[in-house]
Amino acid sequence: MNKHAIYHILDTPYAYAKDIDTLSVTLRAAKNDIKICNIHYKSRYDWENSFNIKKMKIKDTNNLFDFFSTDISIERNRYRYFFELIDNEGNRFFLDERGLRGEEIRRKEATAFQYPYIAKPDVYNEEKWLQEAIVYQIFVDRFCNGDKSNDPENVAKWGSEVNETSMFGGDIQGIINKLDYLEDLGVNLLYLTPIFKSSSNHKYNTADYYKIDSQLGNIENVKELVKKCHDKNIKVVFDAVFNHSGADFFAFEDVLLNQEKSKYKDWYFIDSFPVNLEEVNYYTFADNVATMPKFNTHNEEVKNYLLNVAKYWIDEMGIDGWRLDVCDEVDHSFWRDFKKAVKNHKKEAIVIGEIMHEASSFLKGDQLDGIMNYPFKGALVDFFGNRTIDAKMFSEILSINRNIYMDSITRQMWNLIGSHDTQRFLTECGEKIERMKLAIVFQFTYIGVPYIYYGDEVGLNGGEEPQSRKCMIWNQENQNNELLNFYKKFILIRKNNKVLVYGTFKVLYCKGNNIVFEREYKNKKVIVAINNDYESSIISIRINAEVQDIFTLESSFIGTKMYLGPMEFKLYRIVG
């Protein structure tokens, strides 16, 4: 037994309250090292009765580790437990809070792990509607110009070349005009980039958090949009830029005017006075971005101001949540208060963070409901897009990403393959549509929320920003209708197969450029097989079951081999 690989702590995702009556417990061990993993458990105040014993199952695995998991329940929800491990040679070890050892520890009950109490406020309440969502991101200035009267000066011709300052006149009315298109596509959650008053085309330098930017419309337009979306069962999420304001925000303007005497000087991180836009002698978004001074969210006035903004738009518009810009550079305490404020005003509203890396400290249930899953995007770009990794490494990256969060959080991650801050996927894969299709197959059959960046569905390309922010293609002759129909088909498959939403994930085969995995939920199984190669593949895999092709509805029997043509995928429903 590789003792160095054995790991368990009393924290997510290794021990957490699944609900008020259930404790989810996970133990990590070296891959293929443990034959039997049992958990011994009982009430932490029970000193008379024997421990209950339950065999733990492998819920996930990767190149290095197996993750054994189970759920346990005890009356009054006060837990004491330890682990019994038997390796392949029959050697028996025990793990408790004193560590791993070979001696029997049943009688040393005081050293068992203790999860003292499941309190209702500590239970993370997952959002089922989010887990079943299909996200569609809209960069408002580039989606559709529905109202010429609010166009900015020197508006660019729709579809012309973009640069850092281009404005094309996309607006809220344009989104309203295209709601039938979005409904027909099948998406049910719109995420809008910022719509508040701002001097830029991207609107991430907010001048007024209580005003809709006049170039995008007015408050009545937004109310109409939200209402019509809700009538079509489409949720709406706004973008919150609370890490920083614009330099033309009233508080920072006062600092520029009154300098050390400004009552708002502590709203920001000022290095020295006089504050100077040219020298940028203050903390900003990124490095020395003069137009984006960073908020001091530890300041109570700043915190209360921003929390009131969040509550106002939920109350005023009935929006369904917030996406939080650069949220990993804002303190955890602020986000805990933010989530409470949001949930108190709309219980089912969601809080999603823009974090481009591992984010376990934000995803313990007390701050965020999920993040934009950039590690997922990176893995799909490298495997399907530019082919710099093989299936084994691809699977390893995703396994690491899966096993650092609660299962419910993993199901709520926004699994994007492109965004306004990255190259579009079609560009990442050298305009090879067949590669993008396989990425879409994986995106819609994997754990988490599929996420479409506007225009991807019709073949819009684009490199690094601002090229990733091109105008939406509305001329049907210029749209890739094959790709659009492909998206529609997979959105429908996702909606009609809850196993793809709630099911467990298990890799069955992972070699070269081939990956086969299984999703299982309530005794229903779906097998997804992908050949990310321009050569045919014969995959040796033991299925031994009657299957039905989800596309053709044809039935067949798969024994120990599966054939996949070049760049081919298969979706099978197990029927026997």
Amino acid sitting at position 45: Y
Q: How far is CA 465 from CA 40, 117, 119, 202, 378, in A?
A: 54, 49, 46, 11, 17
Residues that are catalytic: 325, 354
**Of the candidates 545, 423, 571, 558, which has an alpha carbon nearest to the alpha carbon of residue 493?**
571
Contact (CB, 8 A) for 148 and 177:
no
Catalogue the long-range contacts made by 428-435 (C-beta closer than 8 Å, 24 or more residues apart). 428/381, 428/385, 428/386, 429/381, 429/384, 429/385, 429/386, 430/386, 431/461, 433/459, 433/480, 433/482, 433/483, 434/567, 435/384, 435/385, 435/532, 435/567
* CA angle in degrees (0–180, nearest 5) for 527-452-377: 70
* Rounded CA separation 271/248 (Å): 19
Residues 6 or more apart whose Cβ sits within 8 Å of residue 219: 212, 316
DSSP assignments along 308-352, one per residue: HHHHHHHHHH---EEEETTGGGS-HHHHHHHHHHHHHH-TT-EEE
DSSP alpha helix (H) spans, 92-215? 128-131, 172-177, 179-185
